[in-house]
Amino acid sequence: MTAELDALYAVMENVDPATWPGLTVAQRCALGRFAKPVVMEFPVSSVLELKVGHVYRAKRPARSGTIFKPVYNDRMIVWVSAWGNEVQYDSPSVSIGRKLPIVSKEKFLSWAGKDVTEGYPKSEWMEYPR
């Protein structure tokens, strides 16, 4: 019996009591006071700081451009929304005359692998190795 109680207490320590099934709203509010705060930890290297004018390379770089001049499918940030939740970018994969795409910050970060602004050729895209 004590092994079962020890296991129950161990589970209760790791579970927020306000999320137990079958509780009323009042019971959830009362138990919410005893809930442990959830600490969100993100590795520093996984979060990029998005800046206008910086160029970012994909986690899995691909070939873009023409047959005669292949380039990386990098993206350069043109605009970030006032709240920082949307990003507009330019890329060699965007057709000439087409509107520049606007995506959510989360979607851009899921695509982006690293910032490659330093050492990038000015006013052109970096060539893809043949």
> Does residue 65 sit in the same domain as residue 24?
no
Question: What's residue 49's pLDDT?
Answer: 87
Does any domain span residue 78?
Answer: yes
Contacts of residue 86, Cβ cutoff 8 Å, sequence gap at least 6 = 80, 102, 103, 104, 105
Question: Domain range spanning residue 53?
Answer: 45-115
Does any domain span residue 121?
Answer: no
Question: What's residue 40's pLDDT?
Answer: 47
**Structure tokens that stand for 118 in this block:** 């330093």
Written as one letter, the residue type at 73 is N
> Does residue 78 sit in the same domain as residue 24?
no
Does any domain span residue 40?
Answer: no
> Does residue 27 sit in the same domain as residue 49?
no
Question: What's residue 101's pLDDT?
Answer: 95
Per residue in 69-124, pLDDT (tens digit) is 999 999 999 999 988 889 999 999 998 899 999 999 999 999 999 999 998 888 88
> Does residue 92 sit in the same domain as residue 53?
yes
Cα atoms in the 13 Å half-sphere on the side-chain side of 16: 12
> Does residue 15 sit in the same domain as residue 70?
no
Does any domain span residue 77?
Answer: yes
Q: 76 burial class (0-12, 13-18, 19+ CB within 10 angstroms)?
A: middle
Does any domain span residue 81?
Answer: yes
> Does residue 80 sit in the same domain as residue 105?
yes
Question: What's residue 102's pLDDT?
Answer: 95
Does any domain span residue 38?
Answer: no
Question: What's residue 58's pLDDT?
Answer: 92
Task: Report the pLDDT averaged over residues 18-38.
Answer: 61
Question: What's residue 8's pLDDT?
Answer: 59
Per residue in 29-53, pLDDT (tens digit) is 665 555 555 554 544 445 788 899 9
- Nearest C-alpha neighbor of 124 from the set 72, 83, 84, 59: 72
DSSP 3-state assignment of 45?
helix
Looking at the structure of the chain, the number of domains it has is 2
From CA 60, how far away is CA 47, in angstroms rounded?
17
Does any domain span residue 73?
Answer: yes
The model's pTM: 0.62
Please report, for residues 15, 35, 58, the alpha-carbon distance to residue 75 in angstroms, rounded to integers and kept in the order given.
42, 43, 8
Instruction: With cut-offs at 50, 70 and 90, classify the pLDDT of residue 21.
Output: low
